[in-house]
Amino acid sequence: MDEIKTYQHKVGEKLRLSEDSIPDAEFVTVNLERAEFNSVNLSTVTFAKANMECAVFKEVDLNSCAFQDAYLDNSTILSSSFAKAVIENVNMEAAKFTGLNMSRAMFKGVNFKETKFTEVSLDDSQLFYSDMQNASFEKIVLTGSKFTECSLRDVEITECETDGLKIDGIDIGAVLKAIKEKKIDIDKLING
């Protein structure tokens, strides 16, 4: 029989998990504020109603995990993988994502306001009903991504791979390519 590990967190102590593997675990209604996860396998883990504000994830396997009604405000996620993750009704405001694989992930009702995405792969990801106001995307891959009913107000996208990116049915990658190749006069388009 597999051994069941139970962890009792002491109030006021900072949680640090390093070089461990806890796939299939469930973190339900737990306070993981300022927790540090370093080189941990958290694949297929469920975080439900978990407070992970200001948490740090570094080199963490979050493939096929689920975040539901969780808080990751001001968290930092570095060199980790969220591939095929399902993230629903999660607050990730002002989070920092660097060097992540978020391909084929599904995001529903996520607050990404003021979040910074740098060197992130979001290829073939689905984003529904998410607020990305003032978010920034730098050097990310958006190939085949789909944004549905998302707020993209004041979003900045720079040096990104956008082949196959469509907004309201418009192939943005093709439009940007045409502008760069001078097939579309952007000044004439904007100013009439």
Note whether residue 132 is domain-resident: yes
pLDDT-derived band at 134 (thresholds 50, 70, 90) equals very high
Tell me which H or E stretch contains 68: strand 66-68
From the list 174, 153, 149, the residue with the least C-alpha distance to 162 is 174
Q: Is residue 4 part of a domain?
A: no
User: Of 176, 107, 171, 100, which Cα lies nearest the Cα of 138?
Assistant: 100
Q: Which residue has the higher pLDDT, 124 or 170?
A: 124
CB atoms within 10 A of CB 156: 10
> Rounded CA gap, 55 and 74, in Å?
8
Strand, helix or coil for residue 19 = coil
Residue 79: the pLDDT is 93
Return the CATH number at 75.
Answer: 2.160.20.80
Is there a single domain that holds both residue 103 and residue 181?
Answer: no
Question: Which residues form the domain of 169?
Answer: 163-192
The 10s digit of each residue's pLDDT in 74-96 is 999 999 998 999 999 999 999 99
- Do 37 and 130 reside in the same domain of the chain? yes
The domain tally of the chain equals 2
Query: Would you say 145 and 123 are in contact if contact means Cβ atoms under 8 Å apart?
Result: yes
Place of tokens 């469930």: 26
Name the token pair of 127.
Answer: 């984003």
Q: Structure pTM?
A: 0.80
Cα–Cα dist 138/59, whole Å = 20
Q: Is residue 9 part of a domain?
A: no
* Share in percent of the chain as helix, strand, coil (round to 5): 10, 35, 60
Whole-number percent of the chain with pLDDT over 70 = 92
Rg (CA), the chain: 18
| 168 and 150 within one domain | no
* Residue position matching structure tokens 């978990």: 50
- The per-residue pLDDT of the chain, averaged, comes to 86
33 with 82, same domain? Answer: yes
Return d(Cα 121, Cα 148) in angstroms, integer.
Answer: 18
Is the model more confident about 175 or about 5?
175
pLDDT at 175: 84
